[in-house]
Structure 1
Amino acid sequence: MKKIINDPSTVVAQSLRGLALAHGDLLRVEQDPAVVVRADAPVADSVAVISGGGSGHEPLHGGFVGPGMLHAAVPGAVFTSPTPDAVQAAVAATTGDAGALLIVKNYTGDVLNFETAAELAAADGKDVRSVVIDDDVAVADSTFTAGRRGVGGTVLLEKITGAAAERGDSLDAVEALARKVIGQVRSIGVALTSPTVPHAGQPSFDLGDGEVEFGIGIHGEPGRERIPAEPADALVERLLAAVVEDLPYAEGDEVLLFTNSMGGTPLLELYLAHGIAERLLAERGITVRRRLVGPYVTSLEMQGMSVTLLRLDEELTELWDAPVRTAALRWGR
C-alpha cells in the first residue's frame, strides 16, 4: 500500500486539520467528536442542513460546508458511519429555533445513528427531522443497506436544500423540497479498480485486467454484475440506460447531469464520458439544462465513474443556480 499518510488510525483527524487550515474562512473543525461546521454557525433564523457519513468520499461531505450548502458535516472513520454523539454535536453547534434537517445516505449504520441523534435532539426540545436518500438504481439491497444506496444524488440534494435554507425557507418547506429531490434523482456507478482502505492495507476486492464492476457502491460493495471492459461509448450507454429507464426519464424532460469521478479517473476520461452522456440523452429527447463534472463523491483512489440525473423544474433550477461558497463548490457571489 502506497498512500500519503502517517498512521492509518489518525488519517481522518489529520486530514480534517488540513481542511480547517485550508478553508478557515468557510469552516471550522471541532474534535472529540469530529464535526465540520460553518465558520459563522449558528446562522440565526436559518434551518440547519446537516449531513455526514464515513470518510474516504471527499469532498463529500466536509467540502460542502459553507454558505448556500451545508451548515455542518459529520465525518466518521474511513467508510464507517459517524457516531450518534458526533451528529448530536453537529446539531448543537448549528441548530436554533428554525430547526434542522439531517440528510442521511441509505446505509444501515448512517440511518440508525442519525435517527438516534435526531431522537436525542428532540428530547432536548429541538425540531430535528431527517430524510434518507437512496438514488442508486444498481441494486435493491447490499451488504451495507436495506434498500437502495445513497450515492451521487446526495451532492445535488445538499446543494438544493442548502440554498433553500439560505433564502430563509421554513423547516417544513426545506423537508418537502428534500423529498421532492429524492423522488426525482437517480444514479449508478462503475468501477475499473478497487479502493484500498488505509487500515486494511490491501484492495477491497479483486478485478481482472479485462473486467469492470457495473453498479458498484461507493464503499466497493458489489454491483449488478461483473462484465468485460467496454469502450467508453458502450459503457456510458449502459450506465445511462440503467438510470433513464428506472424513474423513468422521458422525452421532453429537462435534467441536471452529474458525471462523477470515483477518485482515480482523470478529467480527460471524465469529460470524454460526459460528452457521450450528453449526446445519448439528446438522442432520447432529454435536455441537459445544468451540469456538474468532477470528483465530488469519491471512493478513495478507485478508478471509475458514476452518472446521476435529476429531473429539473423551475424551482429546482433556481435553487441549483443560487450562490454557493464552499471548499468544493463555488459560484454566484
Structure 2
Amino acid sequence: MKKLINEPGDVVSEALRGMAAAHPDRLRVDHENRIVYRKDGPRPGKVGLISGGGSGHEPMHGGFVGLGMLDAACAGEVFTSPVPDQMMAATRGVDAGAGVLHIVKNYTGDVMNFEMAAELAAADAGTEVLSVVTNDDVAVQDSLYTAGRRGVGVTVLLEKIVGAAAEEGRSLQEVADLATRVNDNGRSMGMALTSCTVPAAGKPTFELADNEMEVGIGIHGEPGRQRLPLAPASEIAAMLVDPVVGDLPYQQGDAVIAFVNGMGGTPLIELYLMYNEVAQLLDRAGITVARSLVGNYITSLEMAGCSVTLLKADDELVRLWDAPVNTPGLRWGV
C-alpha cells in the first residue's frame, strides 16, 4: 500500500486540518467534533443544511460546505458513519431559528445516527429538524451497508439545488419537499476498474483481475451487480445508462442534469470520454441534457471507475442549479 499519510489512524483529523488551512476564507473546522462549518454562518432566518458520512468520498461532504450548499458536514472515520454527538453538535451549530434539514445517504449507520441526533436536538433545544434520505443507486436493492437502495451521486446534485433554495429564504418544509422531489427524480449507477484500499486495512477491499471490471459497485468498495470482462467505454456507458434510464423511467422529451462522476482514481480525460458516450446514448433516447457535471465529486478513495447520475430537471431545478455556489468542491456564479 502506498499512500500520502502519516499514521493510518490520523488520516481524517489531519485531512481536516489541511482543509482548514487551505480554505480559511470559507470554512471553519471544529476539530474536536470533526465538523466542517460554513465560515459566515449561521445566517438568521435561514434553514440550516447538514450532511455527513464516512470520510474517503472527498470532496463530499466537507468540500460542499459554503455559500449555496451545506452549512455543515460531519466527518466520520473512513467509510464509517459519524456518531450522533457529532450530528447533534452540527445541528445546534447551524440552527438560526428556521430549522435544520439533515441530508442523509441511505446507509444503515448514517440513517440511525442522524435519526438519533434529530431526536436529541428536538428534545434538548427544541430545534425543528426534518430529514431526507437519498437512495438513487439502481444497482442493487439491498447491500452490505443498506436496507434498500444506496445513496450516491444524486446527493451531490441535491445538496447544490436545495442549498440554493435555502439561500432564497424558503421554509424548512419547502426545502425538505424540494429535497424529496430531487431524490425521487434522480437515479445512478457506478462501476469500478480497481478496488480501493482503506488506510487502516492496508489491502484492497476486493480483488479484480487485470481483464475484469465490477459493474454496480457502491462507494464503500462494496461488490457490484456483476463482474464482467473489461469492455470498451462505449459498452460500459450503455451498462450504466440503460438501467438508469429504464428505472424511473426517463422518457423521450425529458430534460436532465447529467453527472459523470469519477470514483477517485480516474483521470478527467477518461471521464470526458465517458461523458461523450453517455451524451450520445441520451441523444439517441431523445433525452435532452439541460446541464452537465463531470469530475470527481463523490469518490471511493483511489478507486478507478465512474458513475452516471441523471436527474430529471424542470425549469425550477435548472434555475436553482445555476444559482451561485462557493465551496471548495464546487464554485460558479460568484
**1:304 and 2:305 correspond:** yes
Q: Distance in 2 between matches of 1:215 and 1:170?
A: 37
Aligned to 1:117: 117
List gaps (5 residues or longer) in structure 2.
none
Superposition deviation, residue 41 in structure 1: 1.7
CA drift of 1:209 comes to 1.2
Q: Offset of 1:31 from its aligned partner?
A: 1.7
Which residue pairs with 1:8 in the alignment? Answer: 8
The answer to whether the 8 A contact 2:16-2:31 is kept is no
Unaligned segments of structure 1, at least 5 residues:
none
User: What is the Cα deviation at residue 179 of structure 1?
Assistant: 0.5
Q: Deviations over 1:6-59 (max 9, x none)?
A: 001110000000001111111111022110000012111100010000000000
Per-residue CA distance 1:285-309 (angstroms, 9 max, x = gap): 0000100000000000000000000
Equivalent position of 1:270 in the other structure: 271
Question: Are residues 1:68 and 2:68 paired?
Answer: yes
- Cα deviation, 1:170-208, whole Å, max 9, x if unaligned, reads 001000000000110000000000000000000000011
**Offset from partner CA, 1:221-270 (integer Å, 9 cap, x none):** 12111111100000101110010001000000000000000000000100
1:132-168 deviation line (CA, Å, top 9, x unaligned):
0000000000010000000011000100111000110
Match of 2:149 in 1: 148
For 1:291, what is the secondary structure of its paired residue? strand
What letter corresponds to residue 2 of structure 2 in structure 1?
K
Amino acid corresponding to residue 216 of structure 1 in structure 2 = I
Count how many residue pairs are aligned between Structure 1 and Structure 2: 333
Alignment partner, residue 89 of structure 1: 89
Using the alignment, how far apart are the partners of 2:260 and 2:272 within structure 1? Answer: 8
Give, in whole Å, the separation in 2 of the partners of 1:300 and 1:192: 13
TM-score normalised by structure 2 residue count: 0.99
| Corresponding residue for residue 138 of structure 1 | 139
**TM-score of the superposed pair, with normalisation by structure 1:** 0.99
Q: Which residue number corresponds to residue 30 of structure 1?
A: 30
Rounded to whole Å, the distance in 1 between the matches of 2:96 and 2:270 is 44
Alignment partner of 1:111: what SS? helix
- Find the residue that maps to 1:278 and give its secondary structure: helix
Question: What is the letter of the counterpart of residue 84 of structure 2?
Answer: P
Give 1:106's aligned amino acid: N
Q: How do residues 276-291 of structure 1 correspond to structure 2 at under 5 angstroms? A: 276-291=277-292
SS of the residue 1:245 aligns to: helix
CA distance in 2 between partners of 1:317 and 1:50 (Å): 22
- Partner of 1:42 in structure 2? 42
Report the AA paired with residue 268 of structure 1. I
Moved over 3 A (4+): none
Query: AA paired with 2:114?
Result: F
Map 1:177-192 → 2, pairs under 5 A: 177-192=178-193
